Amino acid sequence: DLDRLYMKFADAFEDRFVRQGEYENRSIEQTLEIGWNLLRMLPREELKRIRDAYLDRFYGKKASEGEGA
């Protein structure tokens, strides 16, 4: 069910993206990779506000592929 998927996404977003630890020093690349990993929880069709070029480049990548890109 799509509503439950959005709830899981919201919880994961809060835990992994927003709640950066006080002593966690992550790079912008690491932050973007976390963001893409979270977005991959949602069906691509739901990501209507993200340009297709960005989705083509980053949505299908696995975490290890996206690092440094």
Tens-place pLDDT, residues 17-37: 999 888 889 999 999 999 999
Both ends of the chain: CA-CA distance in Å?
Answer: 32
pTM of the model: 0.81
Neighbours of 23 (CB within 10 A): 5
DSSP helix, strand, coil percent of the chain (3-state; round to 5): 65, 0, 35
Confidence of residue 64 (pLDDT cuts 50, 70, 90): low
